[in-house]
Structure formats: C-alpha cells, structure tokens
Amino acid sequence: MNKADLVDRISGACDMSKTQAGAAIDTAVDSITAALKKGDRVALIGFGTFSVSQRKARNGRNPQTGATIKIAARKVAKFTPGADLKKAVNRSK
C-alpha cells in the first residue's frame, strides 16, 4: 500500500474528500516528524511507538576497495510495533 492507496481508504471510510484525507495524512506525518526531531516519543496505543535512538560511531569497510572507514555517530528513527499490531500481523487468514 502506498500513500495514494491510503488516501483512497481514508476518504472512503471517513466520508471526506481525497484532498482532506491527504492533508490529514500529511499533518500526521509532519507532527510525528516534528516530535522525533525534538527527541520526543510518539506512542499510538494499539499500533506502536516511534522513537529516536542513538547509534554509536563505528568502523566499516568499503566493499569495493576493502578499506576501513569511520562511520560517524548519529540519531536514527525507530518504530516498535504494539501488541495489537503484532497480533494482527501474526493472525492466520
């Protein structure tokens, strides 16, 4: 499913235009992104939790030359699925 498919689903289920559904999705994504930029966690009960994790600096290897390179420390976005989402994914059809 891509964004257009999600917009179609939401507009049909909520009796709103595709433009409004697209704006709602954009607002949700922008809000989650802004919270993660500030270092906050975003918990959607039943779905999962978005958070920021710190990766340590480490040594890597260039696969073409085999030379060792340094990979800098950085922050990464992380998603942990909730219990309801795990159950839904693992449920038999």
User: What ranges do the domains of the chain cover?
Assistant: 1-38, 41-93
Please check whether residue 12 is in contact with residue 21, taking contact to mean a CB–CB distance below 8 angstroms.
no
Q: What is the tens place of the pLDDT at every residue in 3-27? A: 999 999 999 999 999 999 999 999 9
Please check whether residue 59 is in contact with residue 70, taking contact to mean a CB–CB distance below 8 angstroms.
yes
* pTM more than 0.75: yes
Burial (CB count within 10 angstroms: exposed 0-12, middle 13-18, buried 19+), residue 58: exposed
Q: What is the tens place of the pLDDT at every residue in 62-86? A: 999 999 999 999 999 999 999 999 9
Of 47, 38, 32, nearest to 85 by C-alpha is: 47
Please check whether residue 73 is in contact with residue 60, taking contact to mean a CB–CB distance below 8 angstroms.
no
Domain 41-93 CATH superfamily: IHF-like DNA-binding proteins (4.10.520.10)
